[in-house]
């Protein structure tokens, strides 16, 4: 299996229907559908907001530390089978606080699972706190303050949820505070929002990576800047199809991004909802665009170059990619 880093995955978006049903029963949480197959059949979305409505409703089943442990453990087990060596995992503390869950439960379960994932699967993983942009800047400030007592348990901050109408510049203050704490900075931009959202994330928030960023291709000047500065873009192809950012995978911008010299990586986003984990995304790209092993290996190297792990680890993982490519028949 090709070694990769997964840099754009929401742990809440890895909640498979089978686990959701199990957790609902454990916690006595009433849900409108408690059959896994029936629940999965509802996973068809017209846009980002239609997905978010179901996504947040389903998260009511996460109540106690064991739930978060089981959620992250299930993802890491699946990620190991997908070749993931490094995972930088988003989570939404505001959602869980609104559901009456203490952050001690959230951080406790997630970090215990990450520790076991390192022992059991050899996966290096860290957490990135994401702010829900549709709740506004003041709520993001409050969320950061709530998370800082757990500062040793996460490495960065991000910005997610509904994009249009909530431009990055609204969150300048909280990103400045996060930077002062030594946190790494990323943000969703250029998924539903246009190229101006990407530019704002770079200029106002000073992010190190752009999550999605596919609509950058609409602005040649921005493309030139992204190429010159080699800003990583964490692209999620199957997510973009599921949420109608593109009509079909064959319409996706990724080939154009790579042709333009952009630093794109491939990721799963919310794999329980969008039809595939990172290996499924890579396999879909191979089928849609005829990507050969060398192209997939280049994408894997991009992912390790873009991650926030120590340089020695990056070199080791990229050497694994080279070994995989050398072993693969021509």
Q: What is the CATH number of the domain that holds 203?
A: 3.20.20.140
Within-domain flag for 117: yes
Which residues are catalytically annotated?
Answer: 191
Within-domain flag for 148: yes
Give the pLDDT confidence score for residue 329 in this predicted structure: 64
Model pLDDT for residues 169-191, shown as the tens digit of each residue:
999 999 999 999 999 999 999 99
* Model confidence, pTM: 0.96
Within-domain flag for 9: yes
Give the pLDDT confidence score for residue 128 in this predicted structure: 98
Within-domain flag for 325: no
Measured between alpha carbons, how far is 272 from 13 in angstroms, rounded to an integer?
6
Average pLDDT of the residues of the chain: 96
Q: Is residue 206 within 8 Å of 179, Cβ to Cβ?
A: yes
Q: Which residues, including other chains, have CB under 8 Å from residue 295's CB and lie 6 or more apart?
A: 258
Within-domain flag for 324: no
- Comparing CA positions, the residue from 92, 100, 105, 108 lying closest to residue 55 is 92
Within-domain flag for 311: no
Q: Which two tokens stand for residue 85?
A: 């060596």
Measured between alpha carbons, how far is 118 from 116 in angstroms, rounded to an integer?
5
Measured between alpha carbons, how far is 95 from 201 in angstroms, rounded to an integer?
23
Domains in the chain, number: 1
Within-domain flag for 198: yes
**Range of 115's domain?**
4-306
Residues of the chain with pLDDT under 70: 328-330
Within-domain flag for 314: no
Give the pLDDT confidence score for residue 140 in this predicted structure: 98
Give the pLDDT confidence score for residue 328 in this predicted structure: 62
Q: Is residue 233 within 8 Å of 264, Cβ to Cβ?
A: yes
DSSP letter, residue 210 = E
Measured between alpha carbons, how far is 127 from 96 in angstroms, rounded to an integer?
15
Tell me the pairing of strands 263-266 and 84-91: unpaired
Q: Which two tokens stand for residue 268?
A: 């799963």
First to last CA, the chain: 16
């Amino acid at each position: 299996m090709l070694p990769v880093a997964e840099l754009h995955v929401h742990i809440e978006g890895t909640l498979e229907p089978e686990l959701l049903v199990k957790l609902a029963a454990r916690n006595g949480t009433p849900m409108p559908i408690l059959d896994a197959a029936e629940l999965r059949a509802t996973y068809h979305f017209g846009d980002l907001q239609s997905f978010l409505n179901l996504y947040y409703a389903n998260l009511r089943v996460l109540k106690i530390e064991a739930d978060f442990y089981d959620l992250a453990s299930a993802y890491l087990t699946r990620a190991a089978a997908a070749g993931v060596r490094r995972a930088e995992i988003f989570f939404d503390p505001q959602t869980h606080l609104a559901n009456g869950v203490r952050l001690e439960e959230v951080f406790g379960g997630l970090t215990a699972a990450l520790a076991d994932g390192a022992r059991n699967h050899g996966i290096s993983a860290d957490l990135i706190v994401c702010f829900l942009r549709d709740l506004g800047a003041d709520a993001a400030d409050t969320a950061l303050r709530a998370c800082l007592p757990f500062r040793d348990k996460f490495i960065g901050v991000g910005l997610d949820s509904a994009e249009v109408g909530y431009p990055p510049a609204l969150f300048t203050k909280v990103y400045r505070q996060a930077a002062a704490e030594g946190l790494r900075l990323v943000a969703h931009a250029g998924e539903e929002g246009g190229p101006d959202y990407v530019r704002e994330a770079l200029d106002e928030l000073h992010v190190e990576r752009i999550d999605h960023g596919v609509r950058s291709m609409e602005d040649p000047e921005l493309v030139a800047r992204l190429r010159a500065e080699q800003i990583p873009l964490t692209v999620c192809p199957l997510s973009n199809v599921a949420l109608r950012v593109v009509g079909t995978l064959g319409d996706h911008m990724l080939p154009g991004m790579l042709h333009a010299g952009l630093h794109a990586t491939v990721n799963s986003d919310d794999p329980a909802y969008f039809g595939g984990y990172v290996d499924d995304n890579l396999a879909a790209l191979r089928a849609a665009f005829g990507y050969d092993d060398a192209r997939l290996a280049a994408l894997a190297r991009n992912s390790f170059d873009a991650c926030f792990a120590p340089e020695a680890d990056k070199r080791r993982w990229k050497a694994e990619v080279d070994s995989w490519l050398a072993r693969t028949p021509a």
